[in-house]
Amino acid sequence: METSPIDPQSIRSILATDCGSTTTKAILIEKRDDTYRLIVRGEAPTTVEAPFEDVTRGVLNAVREVEELAGRKILEGDHIITPQTGNEGVDLYVSTSSAGGGLQMMVSGLVLQMTGESAQRAALGAGAIVMDVIALNDGRRPHEKIRRLRQLRPDMILLSGGTDGGDVRRVCEMGEILLAADPKARLGAGYQLPVIYAGNKDAASVIRETLGARTALSVVPNLRPTMERENLGPARDAIHELFMEHVMAHAPGYKKLMTWSPVPIMPTPGAVGIIIETIARRDNLAVVGVDIGGATTDVFSVFQEVFNRTVSANLGMSYSVSNVMAEAGLENILRWVPFAVDEVDLRNRVKNKMIRPTTIPQSLEDLVIEQAIAREALRLAFEQHKSLAVGLKGIQSERTISDIMTQSETGGTLVSLLDLGLLVGSGGVLSHAPRRVQAALMMIDAFLPEGLTHLAVDSIFMAPQLGVLSTVHEEAASQVFVRDCLVRLGAVLAPIGTGKPGQPCLTVEVSAPGAISVTMQVPFGELALVPLPEQGTARLIARPERGFDLGAGKGKALETEVTGGVVGLILDARGRRPFALPDDPAARIERLRAWNRALDLYAREV
């Protein structure tokens, strides 16, 4: 990122917005007594769609709410007043954006199972939804491919095919089909569709001739230079770059928004990633962060000092909610719901949320269902992350013939749940959960952490804004992050192993300065909660029974400091490897209700 001419010392007030696919969030930060603090937060629906089709309308609406709540003027008509004069305006405005509903791509290769699949992997790894894979042997005639290209209006196309030195003509044929289709980008006319060519290098010049004038073409090294080798890195990088340059820049109103801020508008996942990396570095921890939005769920991790990010562009709580149901399956969602639900009714609810994405649960039952869907969205996103966060930063993977046969990942996953020190949740369904313990349990159920893992949430979902702010004003971002953004929930202690319900599993002793020490025994199959101080740490001695492991070895005690939080220490003796819910519906509902009672999860029994 470019250095900005901003003088941090002169900044008294900061307005930061994040334009999500569903909601635009604005925060006002002010320097009071030498410390930057969050003053108020406002939000409004994002206005990328008709009738507005201008992202800045939503920004202005969110800022107006900030004005109302803070009782001071920030806008002059449709402009943000900068710098601050008296009690009007702000010294700095920054923004992030994920408006646009994620990145939607089509990819093509010569052979569906070979270069087609490699291209798909490259696009998925870059966080795209792959709308379709077009290949010479996909069974469709050229005009059917052309019709499909036109109909889908992808944001970007990745064209691959052929190993280096291999067939040129057929690669060029794919280029010709693309040219004939002349597909239009979905976000507004008047800009050329970004196309990445990552195929046979010998065909690059012909592809340039064919597509260079009609598309925003980038030529990068072949993603499958030889049959045995995959080189996805350059294609992925190009996808990220073109997404910023073309797709986001053409989201309606985005150009105008860019002129309002002296700092480049950063994509939301990028900004959240900065925050997660900062925490991991500062506390020397393995960290997983998750940001569950309306259209996408982003997972960030730092293990063995390696940062990884994946964007599951089709898992989210509004636009993508129907896809969560399609991918997870109805049974997997319903297993988290402690009451009988009519399938027809649930299906309709989910689809209605998809077509009207800004609604919120009003009844407690509706909240429980929404949180059940969130568990599955988080679980699936984490699974995707684990499979992509592999050795060599997941950028470049060498594939041998045997890998191709088995389609196995080259490097093992870097994600180790036992090593995980801190799990941070962000995004509406976690940040806005009416009780913090609900966010804690959603994350535990979805990620199934092992041993001792600390938990936190982004209080009101401002990690994106603070991420972009930290690039120009580290001090302000860090002060607000610690004081107002990160809410420490406490920790979860989960022994690895399985047993019979009711058999002894875990004994813990928690002592905090100035508090009576607590000793608790938890039988297998149960959840329990030990309060912790909200600030500071407590001493934890945990003794697993024989056959259960907290990380020190089976039956070995764990003695450590545990950082406090608003929820406390959750003792999760429900089993790991595997974690299983009862198959019998009545038994499952009884278990879920018992766990909910143990954690005082909801205001009444559901």
Partner 1 sequence: MAHAYTPGLRVTDHAVIRRERRLPLKGDVLVALGAEVAADTVVARTELPGNVQTVNVAARLSLDPARVPDALRVPVGTAVRKGEVIAEGKSLFGLVRQHAIAPSDGTIESVSPVTGQLILREPPIPVDIDAYVRGVVAEVLPGEGVVVEAMGALMQGIFGVGGETFGTLRIVSPSPDEELTAEQLTEAHRGCVVVGGAYVSHRTLMHAKELGVAAVVVGGFDDRDLRELLGRDLGVAITGAEDLGLTLVLTEGFGRIRMAERTRRLLDAHEGEQASVSGATQIRAGVMRPEIVIPRASTTAGDRRSAPASLGIEVGSLLRVIREPYFGRIARVVDLPSELQPLETEARVRVMTVEFADDHARAVVPRANVELIED
Write out the binding residues for partner 1, residues 392-451 only, by CB under 8 A. Answer: 432, 434-435
Residue (11 or 251) nearer to partner 1, CB:
251
100 makes contact with partner 1 (CB under 8 A): yes
Contact between 268 and partner 1 by CB under 8 A: the answer reads no
> Is 15 a binder of partner 1 (CB under 8 A)?
no
- Give the range of 47-55, 278-286, 392-400, 517-525 binding partner 1 by CB under 8 A: 47-55
Cα–Cα nearest to 572, from 489, 488, 490, 496: 496
Least distance from C-beta 365 to partner 1, angstroms?
8
Tokens of 322: 């129907």
CB of 322 to partner 1, least distance (A): 6
User: Which span (140-148, 206-214, 389-397, 406-414) binds partner 1, by CB under 8 A?
Assistant: 140-148
514 contacts: CB under 8 Å, gap ≥ 6: none
Residue count, binding to partner 1 (CB under 8 A) = 71
Asked if residue 563 lies in contact with residue 592, where contact means CB atoms within 8 angstroms, the answer is no
Whichever of 182 and 474 has its CB closer to partner 1, that residue is 182
In whole angstroms, what is the distance from residue 70 CA to residue 95 CA?
Answer: 19
Judged by CB under 8 A, which of 13, 17, 96, 104 binds partner 1? Answer: 104
Nearest C-alpha neighbor of 596 from the set 530, 531, 527: 527
Binders of partner 1 among 316-335, rule CB under 8 A?
319-320, 322-323, 325-327
In angstroms, the CA 360 to CA 110 distance is 45
* 278 vs 431, beta carbon nearer partner 1: 431
Q: How far is the CB of 61 from partner 1 (least distance, A)?
A: 7
CA 182, 184, 185, 191 dihedral sign is positive
Helices assigned H by DSSP within 71-159:
115-125, 142-152
> Measured between alpha carbons, how far is 218 from 157 in angstroms, rounded to an integer?
11
* Of residues 57-76, those binding partner 1 (CB under 8 A): 61, 64-65, 68
CA atoms of 469 and 481, how far apart (whole Å)? 11
Could you tell me the smallest distance in angstroms from the CB atom of residue 342 to partner 1? 10
Q: Which of 1, 8, 32, 49 binds partner 1 (CB under 8 A)?
A: 49
Kindly tell me the sign of the dihedral angle through the C-alpha atoms of 218, 221, 224, 225.
positive
* SS3 state of residue 432: coil
Nearest CB to partner 1, comparing residues 364 and 541? 364
Per CB under 8 A, 251 contacts partner 1: yes
CA angle 386, 127, 99 (to 5 degrees): 130
Say whether residue 140 binds partner 1 (CB under 8 A).
no
- 443 and 423 in contact (C-beta within 8 Å)? yes
Tokens of 63: 């800022």
Q: Which of residues 164-183 bind partner 1 (CB under 8 A)?
A: 180-181
Residues 347, 543, 554, 593: which binds partner 1 (CB under 8 A)? 347
- Residue 282 touching partner 1 (CB under 8 A): no
